[in-house]
């Protein structure tokens, strides 16, 4: 026989219980138990220093994923070969796994430096204001047509063309069971920062 529990409801809270009864029908007790279960799980997670994490996933159709965890390390690196900037956030989840959130942005300003040798920009005439910069650039480059791979700015032979400037960021979430697996998929410095964050004292003492 299932034990019975009596719940006393104040007059002020009675409308919400009546509405819950309408929505839950015959299963109000299960609804209350579910709400209490979520409350306990969330309270215990916060007591452990965890927080609710929401990350983006996708490139064209962006979705959001939610979990409980804590941020261990973050950082970004430049992937010159792919002309990308990679932004990392590494979390430890409530169940001890490691979640790595990776955002990849086009490295729009990519250049190996060789394209600056003939640079003749009149800095006295062009202000730092983007609107003024763009207006002046169009005046100096009347033939520029930012519409396809057929034209790339002459002053920037190594840069990505205008079509790539509108490329969207890509968001990924990778889950690993161990820290060693994380180390195989993130930059070494970020891996070492994650190891440091997992120590009892995450601050490194220097003997100086």
Contact 57/172 with Cβ under 8 angstroms?
yes
Q: At 108, is the pLDDT very low, low, confident or very high (cuts 50, 70, 90)?
A: low
As a whole number, mean pLDDT of residues 10-31 equals 85
Q: At 207, is the pLDDT very low, low, confident or very high (cuts 50, 70, 90)?
A: confident
As a whole number, mean pLDDT of residues 26-49 equals 87
Please tell me whether residue 11 adopts helix, strand or coil conformation: helix
Among 158, 130, 162, 155, smallest CA distance to 140 is for 155
pLDDT over 60 (residue 124):
no
pLDDT tens per residue, range 40-52:
988 988 888 899 9
Q: Count how many Cα atoms sit within 13 Å of the Cα of residue 20 in the half-sphere of its side chain.
A: 15
156: CB partners within 8 A, 6+ apart:
111, 115
Q: At 183, is the pLDDT very low, low, confident or very high (cuts 50, 70, 90)?
A: very high
């Amino acid at each position: 026989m299932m034990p019975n529990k009596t719940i006393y409801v104040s007059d002020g809270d009675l409308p919400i219980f009546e509405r819950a009864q309408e929505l839950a029908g015959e299963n109000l007790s299960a609804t209350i138990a579910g709400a209490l279960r979520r409350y306990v799980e969330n309270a215990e997670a916060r007591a452990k220093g965890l927080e609710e994490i929401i990350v983006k996933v996708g490139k064209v159709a962006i979705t959001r994923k939610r979990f409980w965890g804590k941020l261990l390390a973050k950082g970004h690196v430049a992937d010159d070969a792919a002309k990308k900037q990679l932004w990392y956030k590494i979390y430890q989840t409530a169940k001890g796994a490691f979640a790595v959130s990776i955002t990849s942005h086009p490295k729009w300003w990519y250049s190996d430096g060789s394209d600056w040798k003939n640079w003749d920009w009149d800095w006295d005439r062009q202000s730092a204001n983007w609107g003024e910069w763009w207006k002046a650039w169009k005046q100096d480059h009347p033939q520029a047509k930012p519409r396809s791979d057929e034209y790339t700015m002459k002053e920037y032979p190594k840069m990505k063309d205008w079509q790539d400037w509108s490329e969207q960021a890509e968001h990924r979430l990778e889950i690993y069971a161990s820290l060693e697996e994380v180390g195989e998929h993130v930059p070494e410095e970020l891996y070492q920062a994650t190891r440091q964050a997992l120590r009892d004292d995450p601050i490194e003492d220097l003997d100086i």
